[in-house]
Structure 1
Amino acid sequence: MVNVMAWLANHPRVLPERVVRGAFLAAADVAWLLRVGSVRQLERNLRHVLAWSAAEGAEDNGSSHVGSRTLRRLSRKGMRSYFTYFSEALTVGASDRSRLLARIRGDGDGLDSIIALTAPDGQASSAPIAMGHQGNWDYDGFWAQFGVAPVTTVAERLADPDMLDAFVSIRERLGMRILLTGTPHLTERLEEALRQPSVLVPLLADRDLSRHGEFVEAFGSTIRVARGPATLAYDTGLPLYVVNTYRERLSGERRRAAGTPYGYVCEISGPLDIDAYRGLEREDAIHAISQAWVDVWARGIAAHPEDWHMLQPIFLEDLDLDRLKDVPESLLASARVGD
């Protein structure tokens, strides 16, 4: 399957996009029907989101119960959204600029602010962004260079070299500058990029199992997120924005221009005022900033959970804490009590 995907990425015009999309949707439905391990994990993750959302509104509806039918319907939408992302990524080379721009638009209370911040008027600044595996983040990066500012970001160094080359090529074709995880002095290179005018550094940060991750509260539980967004914001003093991306149904001229029934909204929130955390020690500040962006991001996930592509363990209850490093003793104690 990996070799097929890499081949498709390198030959995006061999098959019509609608054929590739249809094949991936069929594969999503098969995986969902068989309820393979990744689907079961997706449902465990979504259950946290739904239960938290229900509890938040419990005073209105009187219940925080998550029904199995509701969960199964949502997980099917989630799998189809996830597989759609791959079909779009692998065929991006077959679409021109106008078609891609018709598929994505910006929105959110932070949109005007980030445009003004990065405007090339001689005093342009740059901005780090925290985001998660939601919607189509590649389209976000493509849109940003026209709607806001050029993007420098980080891609995971995949074990399979063909897939790594394919996805780096896809993102570079979309106009992004890509650095890889494991690159020496990666944080310093990102900070250097942010010191230039009119640069965005968005980081997929909703999952980090390294020793450097931050444990924060989310959806009534605990997850470990990447320190990157908070670290970059604190060390550079730049405001931190938060992005959620979700699908929307298209119609009329935009649907014809996009060549697909669905497009995306890049919803920009913030910014977080990093100066508010200067009174804390650096490590405490990075943790507090991480919690602050997760609080904003979580509301966006709760509003559109079907577009959150998290098929791996992320919540404390699903993690093997004995295999993780630098887990706070308070969390270990809490987990032992839960067992």
Structure 2
Amino acid sequence: MFDRILVFIARHAGAVPERLVRGMFLVAADVAWLFRVGGVRQLERNLRRVLRARQRRVAGTSPSAAWLHLHVRMMSHRGMRSYFTYFSEAMTVGGRSDECLLARVRGEGPGLEQLIEQTRKQAGSAPLALGHQGNWDYAGYWAHHAVAPVTTVAERLSNEHLLKTFIDIRQSLGINILLTGRHGLIGQLEQELGKPHVLVPLLADRDLSRHGEFVHAFDSMIRVARGPATLALDTGLPLYVVNMYRERLDRNRRKLAHTPYGYVCWISEPIDVAAYRGLPREEAIRAISQAWVDVWSEGIERHPQDWHMLQPIFLEDLDFSRLSDIPDDVRRLIEARAR
């Protein structure tokens, strides 16, 4: 039912008032949060780890159970509203002008100018690692206009109509889409990176397949996609990390955007993979993955409400009977925690 609603809104984006759609989705987010249905409970488990790790790092002590419960509930409410806002924006993007969309998103961060210099002025290319944050469709649109053309990967969905809808939306934003499950996908992405003026951003903060890489994050471990590290290692290109979060717009941008909130694409300083190229291949991929996750985790700590992770991701929440190719050191950690 929800899938049909999304497809209907996307097909009538120019006729359905965006404010009405946003309001409907925010009501749905509030209801889901209030009754803790769907992925709300899992979102709160994920946020609990982030907030606990942040408190330990900042204050040096573990937060009290009461403090943690209160802040997790507050943050999950904001998180659900952020997540449902993404859907309302994605489904109505076809009815927005370029002027409107460009007012809604901007770039920032210590690596932004270097990324523009590398890809636009020097006709180079760059891989980027990012997580399920903010509005990644807007991120791709902004990058296409402000930095360089974008090629990325989208997950195959069982609902063909919804899959086609998402592909059409992203292609309309200037994003070239490759689907998961195709043979030689990494090779294709590396070919893209061999062309001038190309960005390859990959959503990489969760991959529970046998191809995923276990790394440390938030006093636990998560399994992330190897794509960003593999592309950087094989091409020798520096790897950038993107964190995306919402911000309140100033008066002038608000008039152009027709909404009080927009997004920031925060670009990290590049991770130079040269330091890892002397390592054995598997060790190098794991080390590069850990390096970008360390940078990405800091952004999640700063803006946890915009991390749309409603699925199990941390080691303690995973069903290991369904996982394969678990490294020996990770397996020993699992066994130690089970005792």
Question: TM-score, structure 1 length as denominator?
Answer: 0.97
Alpha-carbon contact 1:105-1:266 (below 8 Å) kept: yes
Deviation string for 1:246-288 (max 9, x for gaps)?
0001121100100001000000002000101111011100000
The 2-side partners of 1:272 and 1:46 are apart by 27
> 1:130 maps to what in 2?
129
1:213 equivalent in structure 2 = 212
CA distance in 1, matches of 2:331, 2:280: 24
> Is contact 1:124–1:198 with CA below 8 Å preserved after alignment?
yes
2:274 maps to what in 1? 275
Q: 1:64 deviation in Å? A: 3.2
* Aligned residue in 1 for 2:28: 27
The residue number in structure 2 matching 1:321 is: 320
What's the counterpart of residue 70 of structure 2? 69
Residue 100 of structure 2 aligns with an amino acid whose one-letter code is R
Please give the alpha-carbon distance, in whole angstroms, between the structure 1 residues aligned to 2:274 and 2:62: 40
How many Å apart are 1:58 and its aligned residue? 1.9
Identical-pair percentage: 62
CA drift at 1:328? 1.5
In the alignment, the residues of structure 2 paired with residue 291 and residue 64 of structure 1 have an alpha-carbon distance, to the nearest angstrom, of: 26
Q: What displacement does 1:306 show?
A: 0.1
For 1:20 and 1:158, the matched residues in 2 are separated by 23
Q: 2:193: which partner in 1?
A: 194
Write the distance in 1 (CA, Å) between the matches of 2:328 and 2:145.
46
Correspondence for 1:87: 88
What's the counterpart of residue 166 of structure 1?
Answer: 165
Q: Hey, what does 2:296 align to over in structure 1?
A: 297
SS for the counterpart of 2:127 is: strand
> Displacement of 1:332 after TM fit?
2.2
Partner of 1:49: 50
Shift of 1:63: 4.5
8 Å Cα contact 2:52/2:68 also seen in 1:
no
Which residue of the partner structure matches residue 254 of structure 1? 253
TM-score, length-scaled by structure 2: 0.97
Q: Is the 8 A contact 2:107 2:266 kept in 1?
A: yes
List per-residue Cα deviations over 1:88-111 (Å, max 9, x = no partner): 000000001000000000000000
Structure 1 unaligned residues grouped into runs of 5+: none
Q: Aligned-pair distance for 1:50? A: 0.3
Partner of 2:239: 240
Indicate if the aligned counterparts of 1:125 and 1:199 stay in contact, CA closer than 8 A: yes
- What are the equivalent positions in structure 2 for 1:84-123 lying under 5 Å apart? 84-120=85-121, 123=122
Q: Deviations over 1:171-212 (max 9, x none)?
A: 001000000001221111100000001100000000001100
Structure 2 unmatched ranges of 5 or more: none
Report the alpha carbon displacement of residue 333 of structure 1 after superposing the two structures with TM: 2.6
Q: Secondary structure at the match of 2:47?
A: helix
Letter in 1 for 2:159: D
CA deviations on 1:225-255 (whole Å, 9 max, x unpaired) are 0000000000000000000000001121100
Checking the alignment, whether the CA contact within 8 Å between 2:51 and 2:68 is kept in structure 1 is no
TM-superposed deviation, 1:334? 2.0
After TM superposition, the runs of 4+ consecutive aligned structure 1 residues lying more than 6 A away are: none
Q: Would you say the 8 A contact 1:125–1:196 is kept in 2?
A: yes
* Partner Cα distance (1:86, 1:63) in 2: 35
Q: Distance in 1 between matches of 2:140 and 2:309?
A: 20
**Alpha-carbon distance in 1 for matches of 2:264, 2:8:** 29
Per the alignment, in what secondary structure is the counterpart of residue 64 of structure 1?
Answer: coil
Q: Deviations over 1:41-75 (max 9, x none)?
A: 0000000100110010124xx54335211110100
What is the CA–CA distance in structure 2 between the aligned matches of 1:270 and 1:210, rounded to whole Å? Answer: 29
